Amino acid sequence: MDGNEKSAQIIRLPLAAPVRLRAAMRSLDAALAAQRDSVAGWKDSLAALRAATGGLGQSLQDCNGTLDGVRAKAREAHAVAEEACRSADRLVAAATPSAP
């Protein structure tokens, strides 16, 4: 073997059928217990994910509301800047002497 291969472990089972059955039942019980633990952990993870995504949704809604306010203020500032530009153009035109 090169170290990447796994070797199978041979489990010697007792010869008597009732003893083999009890051993198999114990193994099955252990596997079911491990599966129950795994499912419980998975459910806990789903609950945590649900809580995290619920909070994220609210944060995104808050952010969207803030951006709406910023958008409105930017439009107002743009309108004021355009009016200031037009006023400056009028002042420059008024201060420039007319050509004879």
pLDDT tier for residue 17 given thresholds of 50, 70 and 90 = confident
pLDDT at res. 32: 97
**How many angstroms separate the CA atoms of 3 and 43, rounded?**
36
**What does pTM read for this prediction?**
0.45
Give the tens place of pLDDT for each residue, 48-91: 999 888 888 888 899 999 999 999 999 999 999 999 999 999 99
Structural tokens at position 69? 């306010």
Sign (positive or negative) of CA dihedral 74, 77, 78, 79: positive
23 Cβ neighbours under 8 A, 6+ residues apart: 13, 14
